[in-house]
Structure 1
Amino acid sequence: MLTEGRPVIVEDYGRETRFAVPATYRREGLVSALSVPLSDRGRPVGALAVRSRQAKRFGDAELRFLESVANLLGTCLQRAQTEEALHHSQRLEAVGQLTGGIAHDFNNLLTVIQGNLQVLADLPAVTDDGFAPQLVAAATRASRRGAELTGKLLAFSRRQMLQPASVDVAAMMRSLADMLRRTLDQRIRIRIEVAPDCPDVQADPAQLESALLNIAINARDAMPEGGELVFEAAPLGAVPPELRRELEEDGTPPDPDGPARYVRIAVTDNGVGMPEDVKERAFEPFFTTKQAGRGTGLGLSTVYGFARQSRGALAIDSTPGRGTTLTLILPRPPDAPEGALDGDAVVETVPAGLRVLLVEDDAEVRAVARRFLTDLRCRVVACASGEEALRHLREVADRVEGGEGGERPQLLVSDIALGAGMRGTELAGAVQQAWPDIAVLLVSGFSAELLGSGPEAALGWELLPKPYDRTALARAIAKVLSR
């Protein structure tokens, strides 16, 4: 019945030749039977069987009745699974909101901790001490690990802002392989094959590493008895036809006759592989072949989303019994413009005496930011809310118009989440409308999601994520002013 996907009627077990009749059936006196498939979305997942001690007990009427019951059970099964997926999604959304909020508050704390540590490290009492710099350095490293943790929380809650950069694929693969050799099953051999001419890729380094880790974990689960895990990277000669449509959707269609400006990253295992129906659904959220409680079904769907958000693509090739290859295609970095500034030179591009209006509702974060700006030789006016900042700007404008003197700020640096008052995006919009010559830099411990909707989204403000240090702030200011 399961093989052919259709009902089976047994008129008499004593004369049955299609299959071996279990001895227990005969001992119980069972003579005839009727079985129909129990289906889920057209796929047989079980059987509904009825047996009788009478010969030829089941005919067309019983068959139609049992098929109706099977259809009803199949509908109930689909509904139960859909409701469970919905509840799962709602739980994840609730946890996502919670972790996102925690990460936001924690990033404010880390900004204060890291900022004060950086200021402390420059004090003569610390630099002249033989032991104090080591303590400050250890605390700084710990705070950076805390920042990495909040980054993971924000990634889980889908509130992480991707920050693409040029990534050395070979170096990342070697680092990841070293970690996996210590954590995966010792029976899994790991091999790296990177082409000598493999260029960097343009992607968020943390999210790329997370994507490769997700793929590696799936590969481990597909090799319960051990096997080989191969990481490969090479320049992509031409975009495969099956992926060209996805890349064209990004508005930058690849030239089918020219060299593709992409890098191919592949992760291959020789595990159990996937049948066609599993492979077709592998990127669907919540789809998993693992036992309940052992997987969320979000691993490959998250990798797929990362690839698409990074203007790339993800492909899967798998054969049952022979293994699986996940291929991640990512763009190369754009050509660097001539005279591009490096991280050390960018600090010098912040002009001395730059007039800055700082808006931050957290007093301790505000103090750290003000100290950083002062160290960068800026002239700072600090406000605790958007409303206070607007009042200050209007007062300055009135004094200028009245001939009393006064200088308008050249740069607005504002947190996005400003307590119960107006958001930083609202403040930036009002400032840009009334005083378009004031540059805008927004700061957030949360995500780019607050910039992702509404009329403010198209304005393209620069966003500095928390926690940040003095160099990161200087780099962001220089980038804003260069526009």
Structure 2
Amino acid sequence: MSTTTTEQNAAARDAEARYRFLFDAIDEGFCVIEFFDGPHGPLSDYRHIEANAAYARHAGIPNVVGQNVREMVPGEADGWVELYGGVLRTGEPIRFQRELVATGRHLELSALRIEPPSLKQVAVLFQDITARKSAELALEKLNATLEDEVEKRSRDLLSAEEALRQAQKMEAVGQLTGGLAHDFNNLLAGISGNLELLLKRVSQGRVHEIERYAIAAQGAVRRATALTHRLLAFSRRQTLDPKLTDINRLVSGMGDLVRRTMGPGIEIEVVTAAGLWTTLVDANQLENALLNLCINARDAMPDGGKLTIETANRWLDERAARERDLPPGQYISLCVSDNGTGMTQETASRAFEPFFTTKPTGQGTGLGLSMIYGFVRQTGGTVRIYSEDGQGTMVCLYLPRKHGDPVTADEMMPAVIERSSSNAEHTVLVVDDEPTVRMMIVEVLEELGFAAIEAADGPAGLKILQSDTRIDLLITDVGLPGGINGRQMADAARVSRPDLTVLFITGYAENAVVGHGHLEPGMHVMTKPFPLDFLGARVQQLIKAANEAAQS
């Protein structure tokens, strides 16, 4: 044997020794498997041709060399053959985790093909991760337990919050009904007492004294009307008459009134934005809201100060709109600020509650801000208070932009009442389920010379409207008995009378029927109670407009 051959054999033995040393020293389980054709088809089984000492420690199966997988773990063999067979066919190595059910071990494995493919061999390296898997499962169970506990605590907290909200709601309802009963009892006492005295004086023949009792009763009625409107505004159910409005013009028009209300000790600054957008709003209600805010500001500055009224165009993005509980978009802001006493955070959070007031007894109803809030929310906007105790207050109204030309004050004024012989040519249908209201309206119409027809419910009114009777104007309550409300009756009548002019009168606010600016052309609305002169002027205005439209 030559020296070269001897050296080559020695090198081979050394390499084999190093391989065997490394093979046995590896801490992970290692084996080489060889596929062969079995009863289940080509390459459907494999045997272990090599395995290190760590194999038994990790897999829990000793003496695997020479064993076939279908003999070792018959119930799991198909799965192992499919995994390693894929490596043999594609040459793509894999890494995966799998439970060896026969021994209850969880294994983390990697496998690669031994080249050339003709050897039909795959090398597998793996380790036992049962302890880690158990820890993970325990952690998952703990997390699930914690999630259940958190969910339970969250439910308990939500239940407690709901109970608190319900208690606060009941407190607010109690406060509302208590304040309402107190104010209305006072007003009813004024109305009832004056009417009783009026009747007594009539029976005594002292008719020259009855005027003051009638005036006093009417005053109580007006105060009751104002209180009702505030309550409806708070509940967002008042009947609004929205028009496209230029708020700059509205603010400027109230300048003298605000200055007289504030007095000489308060400096007033009005800052109006150039190019202010228009908005769809009930201008009268907005004027009331602005005046109310100015009065609140005045009361917060007993020693004098500065009042600022400011308008602006506002683009509210997603974040800004979310902070104000509004949809993103374009808005007009009307802000009233003062440098007075300010509010604490607790007071500001309760400012919109009905009958909540910080003023002394008898100096405030506590409905002002709640009325403003309800009115603005009903209009599609919102109100925000920005205040610090001792640092002043700013209240901002945000109203959605509406495109179009604003209505002028002259266009909103009713015509002057005039009795005319030509009025007899026009017929007005009055539909109301309250007999005293029908009588009152009919008397106003007859005094103006109009012909009047009465109906007590929706079906009776609709029957007249579907006849050949001439009807120039329909005056109807919204809430009617008989299964047909005022809006439904008017809509049905317009099928055969498409140009019929309609004046809705309502005692509260069926806004789903007549409000929010969704009236059809030729439909109008008035809120009960109303001055009779105003009703007469409105009737004449509507009939005149209808005649002009018919002649054009």
- For structure 2, list consecutive stretches of 5 or more residues without a partner in the other structure: 1-144, 199-204, 244-249, 547-552
Corresponding residue number in structure 2 for 1:410:
472
Given that residues 215 and 300 in structure 1 are in contact (C-alpha distance below 8 angstroms), is that contact kept between their aligned partners in structure 2? no
Report deviation, 1:371.
Answer: 0.4
Corresponding residue number in structure 1 for 2:258:
173
Corresponding residue number in structure 1 for 2:313:
239
Deviations 1:227-271, CA, capped at 9 Å, x for gaps: 76643225x4x5355599869x899957xxxxxxx7844222444
Q: Which amino acid aligns with 1:232?
A: T
Report deviation, 1:326.
Answer: 2.4
Pick from 416, 427, 431 the counterpart of residue 359 of structure 1: 431
Corresponding residue number in structure 2 for 1:459:
520
Corresponding residue number in structure 1 for 2:161:
81
3-state secondary structure, aligned to 1:474: helix
Corresponding residue number in structure 2 for 1:442:
504
Q: Which amino acid aligns with 2:429?
A: L
Matched, 1:151 2:233: no
Q: Which amino acid aligns with 2:254?
A: V
Corresponding residue number in structure 2 for 1:386:
458
CA distance in structure 2 between the partners assigned to 1:218 and 1:79 by the alignment: 39
**Residues 306, 144 of structure 1: CA spacing in aligned structure 2 closer, same or farther, 3 A cutoff?**
closer
Deviations 1:203-223, CA, capped at 9 Å, x for gaps: 5445654566478769979x9
CA distance in structure 2 between the partners assigned to 1:218 and 1:76 by the alignment: 42
CA distance in structure 2 between the partners assigned to 1:215 and 1:71 by the alignment: 48
Trace 1:365-380 onto structure 2 (pairs within 5 A): 365-380=437-452
- For structure 1, list consecutive stretches of 5 or more residues without a partner in the other structure: 1-64, 118-124, 179-188, 255-261, 398-406
Report deviation, 1:79.
Answer: 2.9
CA distance in structure 1 between the partners assigned to 2:439 and 2:484 by the alignment: 21
Q: Which amino acid aligns with 2:396?
A: T
Corresponding residue number in structure 1 for 2:393:
324
Corresponding residue number in structure 2 for 1:268:
338
3-state secondary structure, aligned to 1:377: coil
3-state secondary structure, aligned to 1:459: coil
CA RMSD of aligned residues (A): 5.9
CA distance in structure 2 between the partners assigned to 1:478 and 1:431 by the alignment: 21
Trace 1:224-373 onto structure 2 (pairs within 5 A): 230-234=306-310, 236=311, 238-239=312-313, 253=330, 264-271=334-341, 303-304=372-373, 306-307=375-376, 309-310=378-379, 314=383, 316-318=385-387, 322-328=391-397, 335=406, 340=411, 342-345=413-416, 347=418, 351-373=423-445
CA distance in structure 2 between the partners assigned to 1:70 and 1:306 by the alignment: 41
**Residues 324, 380 of structure 1: CA spacing in aligned structure 2 closer, same or farther, 3 A cutoff?**
closer
3-state secondary structure, aligned to 1:84: helix
CA distance in structure 2 between the partners assigned to 1:338 and 1:290 by the alignment: 34
User: How many pairs are equivalent?
Assistant: 358
State the structure with more CA Rg: 2
Deviations 1:329-348, CA, capped at 9 Å, x for gaps: 67999655698485444657
| TM score, norm. by length of structure 2 | 0.48
CA distance in structure 2 between the partners assigned to 1:211 and 1:354 by the alignment: 41
Given that residues 274 and 324 in structure 1 are in contact (C-alpha distance below 8 angstroms), is that contact kept between their aligned partners in structure 2? no
3-state secondary structure, aligned to 1:239: strand
CA distance in structure 1 between the partners assigned to 2:352 and 2:283 by the alignment: 22
3-state secondary structure, aligned to 1:361: coil
**Residues 173, 389 of structure 1: CA spacing in aligned structure 2 closer, same or farther, 3 A cutoff?**
same
3-state secondary structure, aligned to 2:429: strand
Report deviation, 1:466.
Answer: 1.0
Q: Which amino acid aligns with 2:336?
A: A
Deviations 1:444-480, CA, capped at 9 Å, x for gaps: 11114251599x9553631121112333223433454
Report deviation, 1:357.
Answer: 1.3
CA distance in structure 2 between the partners assigned to 1:284 and 1:76 by the alignment: 29
> Percent of aligned positions with the same letter in both sequences?
20
Pick from 145, 162, 175 the counterpart of residue 240 of structure 2: 162
Q: Which amino acid aligns with 1:239?
A: N
CA distance in structure 2 between the partners assigned to 1:272 and 1:414 by the alignment: 47
Report deviation, 1:367.
Answer: 0.9
Deviations 1:246-303, CA, capped at 9 Å, x for gaps: 69x899957xxxxxxx78442224446667xx89x9599879x999xx9xx9986764
Given that residues 386 and 394 in structure 2 are in contact (C-alpha distance below 8 angstroms), is that contact kept between their aligned partners in structure 1? yes
**Residues 325, 340 of structure 1: CA spacing in aligned structure 2 closer, same or farther, 3 A cutoff?**
closer
Report deviation, 1:172.
Answer: 4.5
CA distance in structure 2 between the partners assigned to 1:307 and 1:272 by the alignment: 22
| TM score, norm. by length of structure 1 | 0.54
Corresponding residue number in structure 2 for 1:191:
266
Q: Which amino acid aligns with 1:446?
A: Y
Given that residues 272 and 322 in structure 1 are in contact (C-alpha distance below 8 angstroms), is that contact kept between their aligned partners in structure 2? yes
Given that residues 85 and 286 in structure 1 are in contact (C-alpha distance below 8 angstroms), is that contact kept between their aligned partners in structure 2? no
**Residues 416, 339 of structure 1: CA spacing in aligned structure 2 closer, same or farther, 3 A cutoff?**
closer
Deviations 1:328-382, CA, capped at 9 Å, x for gaps: 4679996556984854446579944211111121112111111011112111111
3-state secondary structure, aligned to 1:151: helix
Pick from 491, 514, 517 the counterpart of residue 429 of structure 1: 491
Deviations 1:365-403, CA, capped at 9 Å, x for gaps: 111111011112111111122222233344x43xxxxxx
Report deviation, 1:310.
Answer: 5.0
Q: State the structure with bigger RCO (CA 8 A, min sep 6), 1 or 2.
A: 1
CA distance in structure 2 between the partners assigned to 1:385 and 1:430 by the alignment: 14
Report deviation, 1:80.
Answer: 1.7
3-state secondary structure, aligned to 1:467: coil
Corresponding residue number in structure 1 for 2:11:
none
Given that residues 355 and 409 in structure 1 are in contact (C-alpha distance below 8 angstroms), is that contact kept between their aligned partners in structure 2? yes
CA distance in structure 1 between the partners assigned to 2:222 and 2:464 by the alignment: 35
